[in-house]
Amino acid sequence: MNLASRFEYLDSLRGVAVMLMMLQHSALVLMDLSLVDSFPYVLMVFLGMFSAPMFLLLVGVGLYISVERRREEGENELRVRKHVLKRGFVLMVFGLLFMFVWEGEILRYIGIFIMLTYYFLLLRTRTQLVAGLVIVALSSALKYSPLLNWGGFPEGFFFRNSWDYSKFIYRIYGDGYSMVFLWFSFVVFGSVLGSVLIRFLRQGREQAFQSIALKLGLLLSSLGALEPFFMIPVDDFPALHVMLTLGVSLIVLSGLIWWNRKRRHVSRLPGALALYGRLSLSIYIGHIIIWLGALQLLGLTLDLSLLGVIAALFSCYVFTWASGVYWSKNRDMGPLELIVARLVG
């Protein structure tokens, strides 16, 4: 098995996360305030709640695969550690700078998580799993940490959004203090998932991994469904939020593995989802600065009807896909991905 090659179903899952992220952002930034907490608004925000867990899970999976690949290529542990820590630091700096633009910025956390999770990779897989469970269990108690929960810059620097106007969001997230610790648990769980995936692939048992991911995903999402059904706040029972979002992520991943295996004999062209996934960093920052920035200059933020929001969202999907296809003709990475790669070395 060649770890240097990309796993298209992982890129596709990252693409799903990107699309859900844009879906949520369109509701939060574009939809008229009179529609806040309407059924379409709640649905779009709720679906978008799965985007960050999916992406963070894949941060852990990708980190494990990257470290294993470098070890297989003969790099010593000092070089591997230097690369991982440097990459995490660069992403953290990017995120800190992007805080001037976007209030919900998560990139700085990803950089921190990458640096921390490297040391978890030195532990046994079971120990990593236990560590992730402990982080979830302690998340409510740790929510008062002033360092990781710093809100950032004054509100005037940000795009206006409807986050603080929604009773639905406040009821689910509360003040959101514990989310950063739950986000870290997803990266740790992702490193465990990456370890299991590579182990199964080395044994030629991809289909068995797909089946296990589906069964585990169904179990976790069934238990976690208590959160939206009873509107249980994340701060009260964080484990339910983790089970729901992690379970759904595993179900989607299982479906993408099946889809990738079935269509392999039909077409070798990369799908739109995989394209989004490969350019996820560029799309994350680009859709906020270019797409939402243009709409804000036109005075359309917090002012569109449901049909207007859907039309704007569709335009974003089409524009990012067309731009990605054009860019990918000559390059394997997105523009920001290339910058990070050159800085990290």
The predicted structure's pLDDT at residue 173: 79
Residue 44 is assigned to a structural domain of this protein: yes
CA distance 223 to 15: 26
pLDDT in tens, 224-234: 999 888 888 88
Token pair 């203090």 in the structure block, residue = 177
CA distance 109 to 52: 11
Q: Structure tokens of 246?
A: 């992690």
Residue 1 is assigned to a structural domain of this protein: no
Residue 2 is assigned to a structural domain of this protein: no
pTM for this prediction? 0.92
The predicted structure's pLDDT at residue 159: 76
**Could you give the number of structural domains in the chain?**
1
Length of the chain: 345
Residue 285 is assigned to a structural domain of this protein: yes
The predicted structure's pLDDT at residue 144: 57
CA distance 164 to 33: 11
Residue 32 — φ and ψ, nearest 5°? -55, 140
Residues 6+ apart with CB under 8 A from 285: 98, 107, 336
Cα–Cα separations (whole angstroms), residue 212 to 61, 197, 202, 234, 251: 16, 10, 16, 27, 10
The predicted structure's pLDDT at residue 143: 58
Q: pLDDT tens for the chain, 345 residues: list them.
A: 566 577 889 999 999 999 999 999 999 999 999 999 999 999 999 999 999 999 999 999 999 999 999 999 889 999 999 999 999 999 999 998 888 888 778 899 999 999 999 999 999 999 999 999 998 988 776 655 554 444 444 444 567 889 889 998 888 876 656 688 889 999 999 999 999 999 999 999 999 999 999 999 999 999 999 988 888 888 788 899 999 999 999 999 999 998 887 765 544 544 788 999 999 999 999 999 999 999 998 989 999 999 999 999 999 999 999 999 999 888 888 999 999 999 997
The predicted structure's pLDDT at residue 264: 56
CA distance 171 to 341: 40
Judging by beta carbons within 10 Å of its beta carbon (0-12, 13-18, 19+), is residue 123 exposed, middle or buried? middle
Residue 300 is assigned to a structural domain of this protein: yes
Domain span including residue 330: 8-344
Residue 148 — φ and ψ, nearest 5°? -80, -15
Residue 328 is assigned to a structural domain of this protein: yes
The predicted structure's pLDDT at residue 163: 86
Half-sphere exposure of 90 (CA within 13 A, CB side): 17
The predicted structure's pLDDT at residue 331: 86
Residue 3 is assigned to a structural domain of this protein: no
Residue 259 — φ and ψ, nearest 5°? -65, -40
CB 86 within 8 A of CB 344: yes
